[in-house]
Structure 1
Amino acid sequence: MKTLSGLNEYGALKVVAVRPPEHAYVSDEKVADEWERLRFYSAPKLGPAIDEHKMFTDKLRASGAEVIMLGGDDALTLDSIYARDALLVSPKGLILCHMGRKGRRGEPAVNASAFEAAGYPVLGTIEAPGTIEGGDIIWLDDHALAVGEGPRTNAEGIKQLQDLLGPDVEVHTVPLPPPSHPEDVFHLMSMISPLDRDLALIYRPLMPDSFVNWLEARGIGFVEVPEEEFIPMGCNVLALGPRNILMLDRLPETKARLEAAGCEVDTYTGDEISRKGEGGPTCLTRPLVRGT
């Protein structure tokens, strides 16, 4: 069995999984059938999406990461391009989510089957009535994680997660604000992205004081996303390594603030794979192995 290691969000990315548009969007007919129901801003265009995703994964590989390409299945929707959400990583193996969005509940088993075939162990499953999604989970290190409690992750799901992880892992619960529509997504990673062991990008107006205090007690400082770049997903950035950042293009002030904090920043075009479905680079990726 392969080992899941580097349980953090900033270490050098070693192994990461993605699902390309060919296996998530599939066809123009599938896009037309699903995009409004799934509350995409508009219908993604399959051809340009494939081009965007290839350039995105090329950047992952250029950073030194092995990229696992997830396949398709009839149980998947357009949302399955956001590979982070269906599974969690833990020291003892992968955890299958019971997803808050009902239409995505076939996705964890499909992804887990691919990872098991690649040699990665499965620890367990979150069961109903618990719900949990990967975008609500942030590992700080092997012994501490934050989990957002909100529309996609509930208290029962968090309890089951703590039971699976055991007493050696501190689980800090972060209350999340309700979205404007019950089917809209607002994950913990909508308002925070770790950049390094001691630095995180945050949208301060939505961060509970208890969470800020918990992070500061661990020696973590902050770069703040400006108001005008929060809705366009300025807070959703992917660390390819410590202070080595990949983010959406056309977010100039956030990029400037990251660079002022000593980050090396690269950008990608995500009009079809990110903006229309409101899923940034962390959403598009399921990191499996990072450096410590």
Structure 2
Amino acid sequence: MDRLFDKVIVRPPGESYKNCVSTNPQHDTIDVKLAQKQHREYVKVLRENGVDVVELEPLNPHPDSVFVQDTSIIGASSKRAIIVRFGEPSRRGEERTVKELLLKEGFKIKEIQPPGTLEGGDILVTDQGVVFIGESQRTNKEGIEQFARYFSHVKVIKVPINKIFHLLSGVAYLGNKIVAISPQVVDVSYFKGFKLIQIPEDELYANNMLYLGEKKVLMPAGYPKTEEKLKREGFKPILIGVSEFWKGDGGVTCLNSPFYKPL
């Protein structure tokens, strides 16, 4: 299997999800019941594709906690994990239950120390010995340096980000040295040596996609140009409704924290 993970952590949205931090103009129309249904469907698709899904309890005091990717970066091979320090202060505290779970599973934990900030959505892991990290509104230079010291066996490339919240909103790794990228928000020059699939400018949201191995790509429904482009490149898109997570400034990758095999 050529995907980067075989196991993930997820957390269903709680009743408070409608109060999440979001710049989306449709934020006020979030339907929590529909979000919960979409999340169950997401988990079902992961399990159908052989992913071991560890499901945490909803965390009502933290409306954004469904976006569990941001809490941690987990190295399956090294049995090391980083617990983040959120750049978005209102989200601090979401990471605690993830830390407890990983300690129970025997992981060696490193916590990002102030003034460092680091969020999982800024971290693009590849199987090429390279990890790209977005220096963004949420992840700073100190946080990136702490990551690089802890996971010293991989090369870290820092990518400046200012038009999107997180790097993974504009880049996805699709295995075999292939990257889906949106050049209007991410500078392609950092990805020399990788084959680039450019995502249509008017379908930026589709770039937040998750590679499930064997050419299967989980992506949001409703982006026909991206779907067609992936098919032409030999990929098999799996479409999923994530409208309520789009309204919360989240996407397909944000909903899980993978146990990365290359780390």
Cα distance per residue 1:94-147 (max 9 Å; x no partner): 110011000111011221112333x14033110110000001111112732111
Query: Corresponding residue for 1:115?
Result: 102
Q: Alignment partner of 1:234: what SS?
A: helix
Q: Is residue 187 of structure 1 aligned with residue 196 of structure 2?
A: no
Query: Corresponding residue for 1:18?
Result: 10
Contact 2:128-2:177 at 8 Å conserved across structures? no
Query: Corresponding residue for 1:225?
Result: 199
Contact 2:59-2:65 at 8 Å conserved across structures? no
Aligned letter for 1:59? V
Aligned length: 259
Quick check: 260-269 or 102-111, which moved more? 102-111
Correspondences of 1:78-89 after superposition (within 5 Å): 78-89=63-74
Q: Is residue 136 of structure 1 aligned with residue 122 of structure 2?
A: yes
Q: Which runs of 4+ in 1 moved over 3 A?
A: 37-40, 289-292
Find the partner of 2:134 among 148, 156, 159: 148
Cα distance per residue 1:162-189 (max 9 Å; x no partner): 12123x321111111255xxxxxx1111
In the TM superposition, what is the alpha-carbon distance from 1:249 to its structure 2 partner? 0.3
CA distance in 1, matches of 2:261, 2:111: 23
- Give the TM-score of the pair, scaled to structure 1: 0.82
CA distance in 1, matches of 2:179, 2:188: 15
In the TM superposition, what is the alpha-carbon distance from 1:85 to its structure 2 partner? 0.4
In the TM superposition, what is the alpha-carbon distance from 1:226 to its structure 2 partner? 0.6
CA distance in 2, matches of 1:194, 1:58: 22
CA distance in 2, matches of 1:140, 1:69: 25
CA distance in 2, matches of 1:209, 1:143: 19
CA distance in 2, matches of 1:88, 1:286: 7
Q: Alignment partner of 1:204: what SS?
A: coil
Q: Alignment partner of 2:174: what SS?
A: strand
CA distance in 2, matches of 1:193, 1:54: 23
Instruction: Structure 1 unaligned segments of length 5 or more: list them.
Output: 1-5, 180-185
CA distance in 2, matches of 1:142, 1:165: 14
Q: Is residue 239 of structure 1 aligned with residue 211 of structure 2?
A: yes
Work out the percentage of aligned pairs sharing the same amino acid. 29
Q: Is residue 50 of structure 1 aligned with residue 39 of structure 2?
A: no
Q: Is residue 196 of structure 1 aligned with residue 175 of structure 2?
A: yes
Aligned letter for 1:251? Y
Q: Is residue 126 of structure 1 aligned with residue 112 of structure 2?
A: yes
Cα distance per residue 1:48-92 (max 9 Å; x no partner): 122111111110000011111012346x42211111001012334
Q: Alignment partner of 1:78: what SS?
A: coil
